[in-house]
Amino acid sequence: MPFTAEITTSKDSILITVTLPDGNIAEIKGKHSETVCKMNADYTEGTINYKTDAEMSNGTETRQLKMSFTLEAKSGKLKLFGVPEDQQGEKICFIIKEKEEVK
């Protein structure tokens, strides 16, 4: 299902705010417990893997979960994959159309 998301990631945390097609807002946020970086300096090739203690909320319900995120760069195009550790078949893919670096 296509939707719009705003993703903010740092060396120690992640925040994903999703606007669903019906207009509802969902949020995933958390602190990284482990980070493995195999990305080049200009973020055009490689991966960064995060293990994250996350909280997912949809406005009416909030739940705690452990997630794995992979930020993948190929030929300068970025994708972010998110997988709850207890639901390996539930992979979420975000194709990043715009990138903004905050220094």
pLDDT at 52: 96
Give the pLDDT mean for 15-44. 91
For residue 9, being part of any structural domain is answered with: yes
The band of 59, judged by pLDDT with boundaries at 50, 70 and 90, is confident
Domain assignment of residue 102, yes or no: no
Residue 16 structural domain: 4-96
Q: Of 97, 89, 46, which Cα lies nearest the Cα of 70?
A: 46
Residue 70 lies in a domain: yes
In a domain, 74, yes or no: yes
In a domain, 58, yes or no: yes
- Residue closest to 13 by CA, chosen among 59, 61, 64, 69: 69
Output the average pLDDT for the chain.
87
Whether residue 77 lies inside any domain: the answer is yes
The structural domain count of the chain equals 1
Question: In this structure, is residue 103 part of a structural domain?
Answer: no
Q: Using CA atoms, how far apart are residues 81 and 91, in angstroms rounded to an integer?
A: 7
Q: What pLDDT is recorded for position 47? A: 96
